[in-house]
Chains A and B, each alone.
Chain A
C-alpha cells in the first residue's frame, strides 16, 4: 500500500487555475491581434489564422501584431517568473526582478549604444551585457567572504542599482535632445522596438521547465536557509540556480521590451493572494498571468491615444502603483 502514491486532489488543484489563466492569455492575445488602426473581426481573424483572409489582414496579423503581442507576452511572463523567484530568494514578498540592479545595468548598456548611434540589434546586445555585468557584480560582492544572507544580497543590489541610476541620469543629461525620446521610451519599457519574440519565449519555456522539479525545494527555501538545509535542500546550489535563472529571465525581458516596471512585482504577489504560496503553481501561473498582463497593457498603450503610442511601461505603472499600495496597505 505504501508504494501506491495517489496524486488525486493535488493535480486538479493546479490545473484549474492554470487552465483559466491559459484561456485568459489566449483572450488577451486575440484582443491584441484584432485591435488597432485597422480592426479585425473575430471571423476575419479566424480566416487569417486558417490560412485565408485579406492580404492586408495577413500582413497586419503575422508581421506586425502577432510578433509584438508574443513579445509582450514573453517579456511579461519572464518578468513575472523572475519576480516570483526573486521574492523566494530574498524571502521578501515585495521584491521585484529589478531590485538587484539588473535593469539599471541593462539601461546603461542600452543608452550607451543609443548614444553611439548603434543599430537596434546592438542596443539589445549591450542591454544584455549590461544586465549580466550587473548580475555578476552583485553576486560577487554580496557573496564576498561571508555568508550570503538575503539582507546582504538586497543591500548590495540596492546600492548597485542606485549607482546605475546615477549613471543613467548623467547619460540623459549629456545626450543630444533628439535622442532623448527614444531613450526615455526605452527606460519606461516599450514594445515598439521589440524584434523577434522567440528568444524571450524560448528562455521563458526553458527556465520554466528547469524550475518545475525545483518547485517544492523553493517552498522549503521560503521557510529560511537553515530550515531548508535541515530538510535536505542543498541551499547554496539552489540559491545560485535561482539567482542565475532570475537574472537570465530579467535580462531577456529587458532586452525584449526595455525596463517595464511592476509586472514582476505585482503579478506574483497577486497570484499568491489568490492561489496560495505553492511555488509549483505560482511559477507557471506567473508566466501566464505576467504575459497576459503585459499583452493587455501593450494593447492599451498603442490604442488609448492612437495614433500616438504610449510606452507600455506607463500603463503597467499606472496599474501597478495603486495595486501595489493597496497590497502593501492590506499586508499590515
Chain B
C-alpha cells in the first residue's frame, strides 16, 4: 500500500540516519515513537508526500508519491496534522466538507451525498451539534476531533495521523483509537505518531522507533516495545507492568522509584 524504500528524511543539520525500508499493509496499524525533535512529524509528512525525502522514495500503490498528482494522493491518503484551527474563519460543517474536495471536479459543487458523508463523520465524532459553530470558538479537543472528522470524510485507505490523541480527554482518546482500529479492520493502513507508550502498546501492530540521531528500528509491536530499548529511546528510566495481559509503561522519577 504505502512503502518506504531506503528512505532518509530531510532534517536540517542531521548528517545521516538509518535508511528506512518498510511497507504498510492494509489492516496494519503502525506507531511511530521517538522523543521530541526526533523527526516523527517530518517522517509523517514525507510519507504523505508533502515533503521531499533527502534520499530514497515513498511509494503509494507502487508509484513514487512525489511523481503522483496531489489530487490522486488525496483520494487515497488522509493526513491529520498536529496543529489545527489555523487559518481563515470557517464553520465546523464547512471544515468537514473540505475532506470531500479531492473527489469533486472543479466545475462541480458538493452533492447531497458529499454532505451526507461529512455529516456522518461529524456525527461519529460527536460534533454534529456544533455544525454551525466557527472553528475559532472550539476547544482544543473539539478541534482535534474535527480534524479527524475531516480526514474521515475524505474516506481514505491510508491514515497518517500526527498525535491523534492530542488535547483529548480519556473518553475521546479511547473513542478515537477505536475509530482508527475500526478503520484498520476495514482494511485501511494506519500510521500514528504517538507519545503515549500505553496507547502504542494497546493499539499498534507495528512500531517504529526513531532516535534523535537519525537511527531507527522497526518491527512487530511485541518485540519492539521492550523496556531497555524504550529507556534508551527516551533517555528515561521506565517500569513495565502487566495487568490483564496488557503491558503498561510508567516513567520513573525520584518520587516514584524510591530513590
A8 to B113 CA separation, bound complex (whole angstroms): 12
B-facing mask of A228-251, CB < 8 A → 1, else 0?
011111100000000000000000
A143 to B38 CA separation, bound complex (whole angstroms): 28
Contacting residue for B101 out of A6, A9, A93, A220, CB 8 A: A220
User: Does B138 touch A at the CB level, under 8 Å?
Assistant: no
Contact in complex: B70, A224 (CB < 8 Å): no
- Interface residues in B54-112 (C-beta closer than 8 Å to A): 69-75, 77-79, 81, 86-91, 94-95, 98-99, 101-102, 104, 106-112
Contact in complex: A213, B91 (CB < 8 Å): no
User: Does A217 touch B at the CB level, under 8 Å?
Assistant: yes
A195 to B20 CA separation, bound complex (whole angstroms): 65
Contacts of B106 in A (CB 8 A): 213-214, 216-217
User: Does A7 touch B at the CB level, under 8 Å?
Assistant: yes
Contacts of B45 in A (CB 8 A): 226
User: Does B144 touch A at the CB level, under 8 Å?
Assistant: no
Q: Which residue of A lies closest to B48 (CB)?
A: A230
Contact in complex: B75, A219 (CB < 8 Å): no
Of A99-107, A165-173, A198-206, A272-280, the one with at least 4 CB within 8 A of chain B: A272-280
Contact in complex: B81, A233 (CB < 8 Å): no
Given known pairs A224-B86, A232-B71, A277-B91, the reply for A9 and B102 (CB within 8 Å) is no
User: Does A88 touch B at the CB level, under 8 Å?
Assistant: yes
Contact in complex: B101, A232 (CB < 8 Å): yes
User: Does B154 touch A at the CB level, under 8 Å?
Assistant: yes
User: Does B50 touch A at the CB level, under 8 Å?
Assistant: yes
Contact in complex: B71, A9 (CB < 8 Å): no
Q: Which residue of A lies closest to B107 (CB)?
A: A213
A88 to B88 CA separation, bound complex (whole angstroms): 7
Contact in complex: B101, A222 (CB < 8 Å): no
A219 to B78 CA separation, bound complex (whole angstroms): 18
Contact in complex: A91, B79 (CB < 8 Å): no
Q: Which residue of B lies closest to A280 (CB)?
A: B109
User: Does A2 touch B at the CB level, under 8 Å?
Assistant: yes
User: Does A305 touch B at the CB level, under 8 Å?
Assistant: no
Contacts of B91 in A (CB 8 A): 276-277
Chain B nearest CB from A45 CB (Å) reads 38
Contact in complex: A222, B112 (CB < 8 Å): no
- Interface residues in A167-190 (C-beta closer than 8 Å to B): none
Contacting residue for B70 out of A8, A223, A234, A280, CB 8 A: A234
Contact in complex: B50, A230 (CB < 8 Å): yes
Q: Which residue of A lies closest to B95 (CB)?
A: A223
User: Does A10 touch B at the CB level, under 8 Å?
Assistant: yes
Given known pairs A88-B88, A226-B50, A232-B70, the reply for A11 and B109 (CB within 8 Å) is yes
Contacts of B112 in A (CB 8 A): 6, 8-9
Contacts of A213 in B (CB 8 A): 106-107
Contacts of A276 in B (CB 8 A): 91, 94
Contacts of B77 in A (CB 8 A): 230
Contact in complex: B75, A91 (CB < 8 Å): no
Contact in complex: B102, A231 (CB < 8 Å): yes
B-facing mask of A267-306, CB < 8 A → 1, else 0?
0000010001110100000000000000000000000000
Q: Which of B89, B94, B104, B109 has the most CB of A within 10 A?
A: B109
Contacting residue for A233 out of B88, B101, B113, CB 8 A: B101
Contact in complex: B88, A91 (CB < 8 Å): yes
Contacts of B102 in A (CB 8 A): 231-232
Contact in complex: A230, B108 (CB < 8 Å): no
Contact in complex: B70, A233 (CB < 8 Å): yes
A9 to B110 CA separation, bound complex (whole angstroms): 10
- Interface residues in B99-141 (C-beta closer than 8 Å to A): 99, 101-102, 104, 106-113
Contacting residue for B87 out of A214, A217, A223, CB 8 A: A223
User: Does A162 touch B at the CB level, under 8 Å?
Assistant: no
Chain B nearest CB from A80 CB (Å) reads 17
Contact in complex: B74, A230 (CB < 8 Å): yes
Chain A nearest CB from B95 CB (Å) reads 7
Contacts of B79 in A (CB 8 A): 226-227, 230
Chain A nearest CB from B106 CB (Å) reads 4
Contact in complex: B108, A232 (CB < 8 Å): no
Contact in complex: A230, B78 (CB < 8 Å): yes
User: Does A330 touch B at the CB level, under 8 Å?
Assistant: no
A230 to B113 CA separation, bound complex (whole angstroms): 22
Contact in complex: B50, A93 (CB < 8 Å): no
Q: Which residue of B lies closest to A218 (CB)?
A: B88
A115 to B139 CA separation, bound complex (whole angstroms): 57
Contacts of B81 in A (CB 8 A): 226-227, 230
Contacts of B107 in A (CB 8 A): 213
A244 to B60 CA separation, bound complex (whole angstroms): 34
Q: Which residue of A lies closest to B97 (CB)?
A: A219
Chain B nearest CB from A53 CB (Å) reads 43
Contacts of B109 in A (CB 8 A): 7, 10-11, 216, 280
List 10 A-B pairs, minimum CB-CB distance, nearest first: A232-B74, A222-B88, A232-B71, A213-B106, A232-B102, A230-B79, A5-B111, A6-B112, A224-B87, A231-B101
- Residue positions of A touching B, CB distance < 8 A: 2, 5-11, 87-88, 91, 93, 213-214, 216-217, 219-220, 222-224, 226-227, 229-234, 272, 276-278, 280
